[in-house]
Structure 1
Amino acid sequence: MADLKGNLRKALDNSDLSLYYQPQVNLQQDTLSGCEALVRWNHAQLGWIRPDVFIPVAEQSDLIDNLTYWSINVALREWLQFCGKAPPKAIAINLSAKLLQSPEVVDLVTRAMNIWGADPGTLVLEVTESAMMSDPQVALHTLFALHEMGITLSIDDFGTGYSSLAYLKKLPVDELKIDKSFVHQMAENKQDRKIVQTIIDLAHNLDMSVVAEGIENRQILDMLVGMGCDYGQGFYIGRPMAMADLPAWEKKSSWKNPEVIPA
């Protein structure tokens, strides 16, 4: 772990990390609604190192603040360049469990937004149920501060954690993201379909939108559209890709894109 921590520190100092972007679409309007930014690390000697390997190392050390700040800055810079004169779409970034418990996260996000002159409505911060429940009071304070800035808050992997409905109703959350474990087998598994429909109905009753991840074929996508799901992402729509590849994907994509605003 010590070696990996040292390598990660060097990677951050030398900008050797990169972001990949997975498209998200509005399922009811057939439009590109945004992307989720995902950190990738291609080490010169070790090759690709999985996020589930190096993210915990960052969280267990003093590197998670730097990694998150780097991610937000790079995502906003690249995303705003990609959007150009088109109406701004949403860029989603994962917020780590450790950072959610830190009062510094609000200043960190504020600095990044100010550097790039980004509209707060452009940024979506995804947090997991388990991250919020590790210290609910601190998490709640942080989430309210971010929400007051106008940032969209999303509960990632919803349905796999253990938050209560009593707690959920107190959260300043705008979006529930259905975990892919429920989406993958929807066509074959009646219970998964019921769970997905229940989450969609719950979110809408609480005035939240819903994102389904893990859409891998047209059948699943059509089922989600029929259930009233708002947004979706998955390999059927688009795999995570480097920013350099995103314009080509957008050009050949079947998803309609917002019109460019004249100069």
Structure 2
Amino acid sequence: MLFMNMLEQGTTTKCILSQDGTWFTPREFEIEGGYQKSSNWKTSLRCGGKTLKCLMEAGIIRTLPGKGGKKKKLGNSDICEICQYGENLFCCDTCLKFFHGDCHLPPVEPKRSPWSCTFCRMKASSRSQQCLRESEVLARQMGPEEQLKCDFLLLELYCHSESKEAVPPGCLNLETVECMKDLLMLNEIKKKLSERGYPKVEGFVQAVRHIFQVHRASKTCNNFCWGIRLEAKFEQHFKEVFAVQETKQEHTNYKIKLEKDA
């Protein structure tokens, strides 16, 4: 399995995961496959039947970072808050945390100065708000405030799913690998959210919940797996961020719907 967001951090990043849980750089994977004499892994490695070179030229995989750019000068310990990898990062002028331009939501605008990340903007906008029923929250139009909150919720999922709760490379078991496969669907939601593709809060929340429903129905899912824990975090954060005052009947209806979908 090729993790494109990892590959895009640089050629020395271990971004290819084998069935036995071993991680490889592109060159290491090329050697493992018996192509140690190859002079260009971009043409010898294929993903979905296409060479990586073709995928890069088509824009499916971003061009690997070079040494130039207008990014902040970094120390050796500086890493992206979302993916936990370094190189070519932008620094939030408020909290001084680092982010890749496309890891962040919304994508970082390089010319914007000063620039504050979504986490800092959420803190600045946090204030006492009226508690609403979940049905009322879901029916709200996706205005600037709602967009900010949804960006924040998705970034929180990425932080937990790709770094802080991840099992170190080389120690992955089958359940964790399957969870990672299911959660890659988050990338589709991220793309649509960044393009302002959800007219209402309901569309975004339903899309995220659908991913967890699909995962819950998989053979490798159990009550203690990574995906289930991540789902619980999302539901908790959703209620906190939108000040949801859930009624007992709404909670019952939601549980019945999940059981039917599963």
Specify if TM > 0.5.
no
Structure having greater relative contact order (Cα 8 Å, sep ≥ 6): 1
Q: TM-score range by the shorter chain?
A: under 0.3
Q: Which has the larger radius of gyration?
A: 2
Q: TM-score under structure 2 normalisation?
A: 0.25
Q: TM-score under structure 1 normalisation?
A: 0.25
